[in-house]
A and B are shown apart, each in its own frame.
Chain A
Amino acid sequence: TQLLEQSPQFLSIQEGENLTVYCNSSSVFSSLQWYRQEPGEGPVLLVTVVTGGEVKKLKRLTFQFGDARKDSSLHITAAQPGDTGLYLCAGGVYNQGGKLIFGQGTELSVKP
């Protein structure tokens, strides 16, 4: 069974601080996707990384896929209250018809 360990599970910081969320596995994934979810809504795709070592930036968010495609990180610079939400990483499973394995999620709270 493939697992994706996401940490930390809870994070409460002040506006302006930086933070990093990690997703780690012993398995290799075909892709790694990051989603953000607000209470009572479905997850919204932030980014998909496919190539080992790939780095993508989305404004203040930086996503990295590990060289071996087993881990990924999300770094937020100068966090804002609007960044508050549940962040989920999800790994694409090879030859499983597009199935995703989700991490446990990181509940981020950014206080003004």
Chain B
Amino acid sequence: GAVVSQHPSWVICKSGTSVKIECRSLDFQATTMFWYRQFPKQSLMLMATSNEGSKATYEQGVEKDKFLINHASLTLSTLTVTSAHPEDSSFYICSARVGLAGELKTQYFGPGTRLLVL
């Protein structure tokens, strides 16, 4: 299956600093990647859709100036949490769509990044 990686796998930072999380598709190209947030024992909440070469589409209630998304290449999307606060502490997961033209495209998920803001 398609492999998606994330880096770092976990990060601890001080309140007020910015944190960048990378999402890479390792063996395929992805024009579309997605960023999710997950709280303990809860499901995934879609934050935004990242499109290569264009602006990300954010879900309602997600601050685009707070969560900056850059999809600069077909294999890399980054999520930057700016001026992080303790309430931003969460598990952040990315996914990438893969599939041949004319076929159903499937989302494959990265391993997630655990963010703890002190």
| Residue positions of A touching B, CB distance < 8 A | 6, 31, 33, 35, 40-45, 48, 50, 88, 90, 97-100, 102-105, 107
Known contacts A43-B93, A48-B104; is-contact A35 B43 (Cβ 8 Å):
no
Q: Are B106 and A48 in contact (CB under 8 A)?
A: yes
- Closest Cβ of chain B to A96, distance in Å, is 8
Q: Are A33 and B107 in contact, with the CB atoms below 8 A?
A: yes
Interface Cβ pair total, 8 Å cutoff: 59
Q: A97: which B residues are within 8 A, CB to CB?
A: 32, 49, 51, 57
Distance in angstroms between the alpha carbons of A44 and B108 in the assembled complex: 7
10 A–B contact pairs at CB < 8 A? A40-B91, A41-B112, A42-B112, A45-B108, A90-B107, A98-B49, A98-B107, A102-B46, A103-B43, A105-B42
Beyond A6-B43, A102-B46, list 19 extra A-B contacts (CB 8 Å): A33-B106, A35-B109, A40-B112, A41-B111, A42-B4, A42-B93, A43-B93, A44-B109, A88-B43, A97-B49, A98-B32, A98-B49, A98-B97, A98-B107, A99-B34, A99-B49, A100-B46, A105-B42, A107-B41
Which B residues are in CB contact (< 8 Å) with A107? 41
